[in-house]
Amino acid sequence: MAPPADTPGVDEETARVRALYDAMAPRYDWLISLAERPLFGHGRDWACAQARGDVLEVAVGTGRRLPYYPPATRLIGVDLSPAMPAKAHSRADALNRPTDLRLGDAQHLDFPDATFDPVLATLTLCSIPDPEAAVAEMARVLRPGGRLVLLDHVATPNRAVRAIQRLLYALTVRFQGDHLLREPEHAVLAPGLVLVQPAPPAPSPRASTPKPPPQPSADS
Ligand SMILES: C[S@@+](CC[C@H](N)C(=O)[O-])C[C@H]1O[C@@H](n2cnc3c(N)ncnc32)[C@H](O)[C@@H]1O
């Protein structure tokens, strides 16, 4: 089905999201600190505890997870907004940990196939214009058997809360590029990833998805 005529294209919406985060960058840490404990609990600790080796963090933002990474990880962080990682640079310096921070679009990652394990993204699929394309790219750069670790907010099945999400939706998309009604599970399953729900159940959805190793072809 064709999108309505006034729906912006992905490129146009990506440019708009970049401008929104550039403007929000100086206030981002304060704004997110209001919501992250009640909504995500110890989600960042959970995500980073799974990091080993060559890690790609997609939409690294202000680098709020940098202090949680185990010291031996080799970390590359990518973000669309030039302003958001400015704080990540000072965090990396303060921690005295070498961190490679780059500008980039999650929908077109500038890395060869099978480069990283794991790939992490927190509070990211809610703000990327084409989350399916972003997950497909994360799966592409993930090594076979590797883990894609996601932490995000999604549409709730609770009807009362969902009604509130619907009310707020137009405002959060317009002013924060933030989609409250997404259900990214479909995007995660599309490239053939296997969904693993960690225990104990988290207050917000998390997914840790191992990439299946390549299957032998039928004629081998
Ligand atoms: C809600 S913030 C989350 C930042 C960080 N991941 C965190 O957990 O605090 C969303 C981030 O996604 C980035 N972003 C949005 N669209 C993107 C894209 N297409 N590619 C890369 N980063 C993107 C924004 O610049 C912003 O830093």
Instruction: Say how many Å lie between the CA of residue 71 and the centre of ligand 1.
Output: 23
Mutation test of ligand 1: which of 58, 127, 182 has the most ligand atoms closer than 8 Å to its C-beta?
A: 127
Q: Is 29 part of a structural domain of the chain?
A: yes
| 217 part of a folded domain | no
Ligand 1 and 61: CB distance under 6 A? yes
pLDDT digits (tens, 9 = 90+) for 122-152: 999 999 999 999 999 999 999 999 999 999 9
47 lines ligand 1 (CB under 6 A): no
Mean pLDDT of the chain: 87
Lowest mean pLDDT among 8-12, 76-80, 167-171, 195-199: 195-199
Task: For residue 80, give its domain range.
Answer: 12-210
- List, edge to edge, every strand of the sheet that includes 206-210: 99-103, 74-79, 54-58, 119-122, 147-151, 206-210
Residue 24 sits in a domain of what CATH number?
A: 3.40.50.150
Task: Name the packing angle between helices 10-40 and 84-95 (round to 10°).
Answer: 50
Output the pLDDT for position 141: 98
Instruction: Mean pLDDT check: name the lowest of 19-33, 102-116, 195-209.
Output: 195-209
How would residue 85 be classed by pLDDT, with cut points 50, 70 and 90? very high
At residue 190, the pLDDT reads 87
Question: Which pLDDT does position 71 carry in this prediction?
Answer: 84
* Contact between residue 142 and residue 205 where contact means Cβ atoms under 8 Å apart: no
Number of structural domains (the chain) is 1
When pLDDT is cut at 50, 70 and 90, the band that residue 215 belongs to is low
Residue 219 scores a pLDDT above 60: no
Q: For residue 135, tell me if it sits in a domain.
A: yes
Which atom of ligand 1 is found nearest the CA of 59? 22
Q: Is the CB of 127 under 6 A from ligand 1?
A: yes
Predicted confidence band at 206 (pLDDT cuts at 50, 70, 90)? low
Q: How confident is the model at residue 46 (pLDDT cuts 50, 70, 90)?
A: confident
CB 59 within 8 A of CB 78: yes
How far away, in angstroms, is 88 Cα from ligand 1 center?
12
Note the pLDDT of residue 56.
Answer: 97
Return d(Cα 187, Cα 183) in angstroms, integer: 8
Question: Per the domain annotation, does 4 fall within a domain?
Answer: no
Q: Per-residue pLDDT for 57 more than 60? A: yes
Q: Is residue 6 part of a domain?
A: no
Least confident residue range of 72-86, 139-153, 155-169, 206-220: 206-220
Strands (E), 92-203: 99-103, 119-122, 147-151
| Across 151-178, average pLDDT | 92
Residue 5 lies in a domain: no
| 215 C-alpha to ligand 1 centroid (Å) | 33
| 203 domain residue, yes or no | yes
Put simply, whether the predicted model's pTM sits higher than 0.95 gets the answer: no
User: What CA–CA distance (Å, rounded) separates 127 from 46?
Assistant: 21
pLDDT at 38 over 70: yes
Mean predicted confidence (pLDDT) in 38-63: 90
Residue 121: is its pLDDT beyond 70? yes
Residue 70 included in any domain:
yes
For residues 18-44, give the mean pLDDT.
90
Residue 153 in contact with residue 212, Cβ under 8 Å? no
pLDDT at 220 over 50: no
